[in-house]
Structure 1
Amino acid sequence: MFPDPSPTPSVLVVEDNALLAENYERWLAPTCAVTTVSTGERALDVVSDRTDVVFLDRRLPGQSGDAVLERIRERDIDVRVVMVTGVEPDFDILDMGFDDYLVKPVDRDDFVGTVERMTARAEFDDATREYYALSARKAALEAVKPDHELAANSEYTRIREQLTELRTDIDAAVDAFEPHDFDAAFHAIRTPGDD
């Protein structure tokens, strides 16, 4: 028997603003199994390898979202983490282990679409996931930093170089696929009606 091609994603929302947490849960409830918590400590109690996506506010009471992210990565939990925050990104994000960065306010379509992108990425290999995560950090900075600040930052330059190397590796891997291998590899992320 074949596994369910579209299992219900398990999503953890870590948000101390009760109204926002309620909105996020309402948006996701039709398609996801949603758990909401309001502190970093509680998030660390709840998150597990069965969690697919964590939406994590950077500013939380007690333990910050940055610290929670670091603890999740130290525990080697295979989960996509999306920072959802009012904090404009700065160069410190280049070393953070998140998969995407959303600046509040976030609308329903972006929020729900992010879950879809994150769960699709779970099917990719490590190099592809790293490429997308680095691309998210780069894009978050480019949205708020002037070109001269970006050009002067060595970590930003390093990220650009890493992206170029990863892109070359990914392209080489895709080129090595036989047509039937390529179809099989991406069959899981097709949507109904694509055929």
Structure 2
Amino acid sequence: MSDGERVVLVVDDEESVAEGYGLWLSDGYEVRVATGGAEALDLLDDDVDAVLLDRRMPGLSGDEVLAEIAEREADPRVAMVTAVDPDFDIIDMPFDTYLTKPVEREQLLDTVDQLLALADHDDTVRERFRVAEKKARLEQRKAPGELADSDAYAALESRLAELESETEETVGEMDHDTFAKTVRNL
């Protein structure tokens, strides 16, 4: 890896999709491409800053790869990039953001930039972002009645409120320029 270059691991069982994402990212990042879960775990090391991960793959699924990343205590930021519509099961999954295919080039590049900016923040800010992302994705896909009937969604809302309160203290301690830069990066 060259000095200062961020590493992005792209994981998708459709080789053309994985290679395409890799090409989109290759101008700004060192890119590693895996076409399966086992290969992804082989390529995952401490140098990987961000992972773009498909959920539905033969062999090890993206969900299983995500669980293994968490179990290894690896610390890359993770975006699920998948054709699987988000459901309440995403609440307990340890990813940072969720994109539903098809994904446009600019959306993918913006997501990687956002993930890498997020890596520069403390755990509470990162968790607030993850929880807010999950809430937003569910609100995009679920009817208000489904959300209202879900205990898991209610717990998610409650956790977000707690995190907002905790991070407001951090935000209050920042000067205006630092706060503005953080918001732009996220």
Q: Aligned residue for 2:12?
A: 15
Q: Which secondary structure state, in structure 2, belongs to the residue aligned with residue 59 of structure 1? A: coil
Please state how far the C-alpha of 1:188 moved relative to its aligned partner.
8.9
The letter of the residue matching 1:147 is P
Contact 2:171-2:179 at 8 Å conserved across structures: no
Q: Aligned residue for 2:85?
A: 88
Deviations 1:35-76 (A, max 9, x none): 101110111111122101100100111011001100100110
Structure of higher CA gyration radius:
1
Counterpart-to-counterpart distance in 1, 2:13 and 2:7: 19
Q: Which secondary structure state, in structure 2, belongs to the residue aligned with residue 26 of structure 1? A: helix
Counterpart-to-counterpart distance in 1, 2:105 and 2:26: 12
Q: Which secondary structure state, in structure 2, belongs to the residue aligned with residue 81 of structure 1? A: strand
Please state how far the C-alpha of 1:8 moved relative to its aligned partner.
2.2
Q: Which secondary structure state, in structure 1, belongs to the residue aligned with residue 48 of structure 2? A: coil
Q: Which secondary structure state, in structure 2, belongs to the residue aligned with residue 52 of structure 1? A: strand
- Report the count of equivalent residues: 183
Q: Aligned residue for 1:158?
A: 155
Deviations 1:133-191 (A, max 9, x none): 111111111111000000110111111111111111111122134x3xx6568879989
Over the matched positions of the two proteins, sequence identity in percent amounts to 43
Query: TM-score by structure 2 length?
Result: 0.92
Contact 1:15-1:60 at 8 Å conserved across structures: yes
User: How much is the aligned-residue C-alpha RMSD, in angstroms?
Assistant: 2.0
Match of 1:79 among 73, 76, 88: 76
Counterpart-to-counterpart distance in 1, 2:180 and 2:121: 9
Counterpart-to-counterpart distance in 2, 1:105 and 1:120: 24
Q: Which runs of 5+ in 1 are unaligned?
A: none
Contact 1:127-1:170 at 8 Å conserved across structures: yes
Counterpart-to-counterpart distance in 2, 1:175 and 1:46: 40
Q: Aligned residue for 1:170?
A: 167
Q: Aligned residue for 2:95?
A: 98
Match of 1:142 among 139, 161, 176: 139
Q: Aligned residue for 2:113?
A: 116
* Runs ≥4 residues deviating over 6 A: 184-191
